[in-house]
Each structure stands twice: as structure tokens, then as C-alpha cells.
Amino acid sequence: MADTLTSSGTGPGPSAPVHEFPMPRAAGCPFDPPPGLSAAREEGPLAKVRLWDGKDYWLLTRYADQRAVLLDPRVSADLTRPGYPLQAPSNGKNNISFILMDDPEHARLRRMVTAPFAIKRVEALRPAVQKIVDDLIDEMLAGPKPVDLVEAFALPVPSLVICALLGVPYDDHDFFQENSKILIRRDAAMEDRMAAHGKLIGYLDELMGEKMAHPGDDLLSGLVARVQSGELTRTDAAQMGVLLLLAGHETTANMIALGTLALLEHPGQLALLRDTDDPKLIASAVEELLRYLSIVHGGRRRAVLADIEVAGQVIRAGEGVIMPNDIANRDPEAFPDPDRLDLTRDARRHVAFGFGVHQCLGQPLARMELQVVYGTLYRRVPGLRLAAGIGELPFKHDGSVYGVYELPVTW
């Protein structure tokens, strides 16, 4: 399949310099996009980037262009298409379900799991999430300090929630968190990622076997019913289960920990949240932190199926495009004074959840969890502060989701 990528080698711009991608962030600026990316956006709407495979791809730097292309049916999320910008070496197979499929199959599968993520269904879970958050804070306050906020709070909140929604026993969290960590590390060996994925699929498959005998009212039981009615193969169902389990906790956990760090570094903004119980301000804070941090930072990636035009440049079928939402969300044309964290701005148009038909399925759930967390943690622990220098913190530069591995805090 590697041969089919060569067309992109001659593709992008005649004389423009080629940047290596992904690019490093600047030391001391953990919340800002890599300076190379911001510079590329200032230079123009398109740039050429070279990936690990030595091939060149188009980088789209502007908010408006990224949204337009992500909506365009002539671009494909299918990693087996010629020109698809792979994150890492791959065996060329899609094993993580509809996130890497195109319509109509993408829509068919996605619609099987959209109901539990509808706004009203998610709202109904808010009291249960509030209880989870309050209980974890009680435990944290009763225990020793300093404590790692990731381990004690940021990871358990979304994990407990997605487990309940899917019908996965939370007691198994060490197992699936360990394997999901390997799966989303860019620098993990392909064999290790395949092995981790295989274990997760096996686990989900076994769980669905149990649900065949004893169905519940959880999402996995719903998928099992569709397997039984012949709408879905058991492998497809297990792959969907893995996608939901992974996407359901890694992302939100990073928003909780990195969001807390960003607020601790912006005390005036933190004070706004600590001193309010206004749901509107809290909701607006969530949108702004999603925009400002743009944690799913590897860039949305697509293969071009038929010639398209972006900012006056034709991008040919068989070429690949990369659309990093961290720079789109800092585009001054879309967000005035974009590098300022301002919890009171209207940031709802951000693309932190992506755009187009693949826009995050779990966004209503993620929003609600983050509203409960940001609206509770700093009010209940007003003295919360870092127990390490920000320069000593281990940042997730190597993962497809940005964040911190550990966040030592005290109060």
C-alpha cells in the first residue's frame, strides 16, 4: 500500500519549504500550539508537511478551510485510501470501527449508538455524574496529600461514567486503561499496539457473550441485540465497543487534568469558576477550555478522493490532507485575540470535537461531565494548587491526545 502514497510526494506546492509533522511545542508554553504550526498559518492557508513515512501531505492552516474540507464528501476518513496520512505504521486495516469509515457505512453504524448520547439522555445522567464527582472529591480530601489528580480524579470520573453507560465492569479499569494507553501512543511499536488492541477486542467480545445470556439496559446489550438480529457482525460490535470505551475516557480525562492545570496558571480565570454557580458561565468555560487546549492535537486526517480546491489551490485525488484543530481554534479570523484564555467569550464555534460527519459522538456527554467537574472541583477545593513546578510535569507530547501523565496537587 505504501506505493500508492507516492502521488502526494509530488503534490504539495512547487517551492514551499517542507516542515516535519508533528511539530514540537515550545518549552515553557505547554498550552500553545507548536510555534511552527502557528507560523505556517501566518504564512498562508496551505503548507507542505512531511510525516514519519517520508512522504509529503497538505497542511490546512485556517479555520474556515478546515471546516469546509471536513464537510466535503470528496475527502475520506478511510485509512486504506491512497494518500491517507497515517499517524504511525499500520497494517493497512481499519480495526477501530466507524471513525475510519465513510458514509453510508459510517452513518449506518454511528446511528446504532447515537440514542444514548442525545442531549436529554445525557442530561438525565447529570445527577449520577455529580455524585461520582462529589464522592471522588470526598475521598481525595480525606486522603494524604499531595495527590496525583490524574489518578485520583481525572481518569476515574470519565471511566466510571463510560463504564456505566456501556455496561463494562469498572473493576477492570486497570486492564483497559493500560491497553488504551499503548494504543494511543504514537511511538509505541506497531506489534505492541496490535497486541493491546487484540486484548481489548477479546475482552469486549467475552463481555458481549455474557450479555447475550444476561442482557441489561446498557449500550453493549443494545449492540448484542443487533448482532442477534443480524444487523451487525460480532467483530463490528466488539470494535465499536472498543472505540467507545477508549474515546469515552482518555479524552475527557485529559481535559480535566490539563484544564485544571491551565486554570491554575490563570488564577483570575480560575477565580471566575470558583466563585460562580451560574450554569451559563460554567458551560461557556467548558467551550473555551476545549478551544484553548484542543487536546486531540494530531490533526484530523483525510485522503482526497476527487480533486478539490482549497484557497485557490487544487488538491488532487490521491493526496492527503491534515487539519490540526489546535491552529484552527487559534485562528484570529475566527476567534479575536485567540491566544488569550477568556472563559467569558463565546467559543461555541470551536472545532475541538472535529467537524463534518465525524464530529465527536460523545460531545454531549463530555460537555456535561466537564461542566460538573469544572463547576464543582474548584469550589469544593478552593485552595487547590500545584505540588510540582510546571516545568517538571510530564506532558503527553507523544500521544494522539494531549495532556499530562501526572498532575501532583495539594490544597
Partner 1 sequence: MTRLPTHSKENTMHVELDEPKCVASGQCVLAAPEVFDQRDEDGIAFVLDENPAGDTLDAVREAVAICPAAAIRLVEQ
Binding site for partner 1 (CB under 8 A): 71, 107, 110-111, 114-115, 117-122, 348-349, 353-361, 363-364, 367
Closest to partner 1 by CB, 91 vs 114, is: 114
Residue 256 binding ligand HEM, by CB under 6 A: no
Closest approach of Cβ 78 to ligand HEM, in Å?
A: 11
Residue 343 binding ligand HEM, by CB under 6 A: no
* Residue 364 interface partner, choices ligand HEM, partner 1, none, CB cut-off 5-8 Å depending on type: partner 1
Site for ligand HEM in 346-365 (CB under 6 A): 352-354, 358, 360-362, 365
Q: In whole angstroms, give the CA distance from residue 366 to residue 253.
A: 10
Residue 248 binding ligand HEM, by CB under 6 A: yes
Cell digits of residue 40: 505556517
Residue 255 binding ligand HEM, by CB under 6 A: yes
Closest approach of Cβ 143 to ligand HEM, in Å?
A: 26
Which residues are CB-contacts of 8 (< 8 A; sequence separation ≥ 6)?
A: 55, 56, 57, 83, 318, 319, 320
Closest approach of Cβ 15 to ligand HEM, in Å?
A: 31
* Residue 111 interface partner, choices partner 1, ligand HEM, none, CB cut-off 5-8 Å depending on type: partner 1
CB 407 within 8 A of CB 257: yes
Which residues are CB-contacts of 134 (< 8 A; sequence separation ≥ 6)?
A: 376, 380
* Residue 296 interface partner, choices ligand HEM, partner 1, none, CB cut-off 5-8 Å depending on type: ligand HEM
Cell digits of residue 331: 485562528
Closest approach of Cβ 382 to ligand HEM, in Å?
A: 25
Amino acid letter at 192? Answer: D
Q: What H or E segment, with its residue span, contains residue 56?
A: strand 56-60
Which residues are CB-contacts of 91 (< 8 A; sequence separation ≥ 6)?
A: 190, 194
List the strands of the sheet with 46-50, edge to edge: 18-20, 46-50, 56-60, 320-323, 300-304, 75-76
Residues that bind ligand HEM (CB under 6 A): 77, 98-99, 110, 162, 243-244, 247-248, 251-252, 255, 295-296, 300, 352-354, 358, 360-362, 365-366
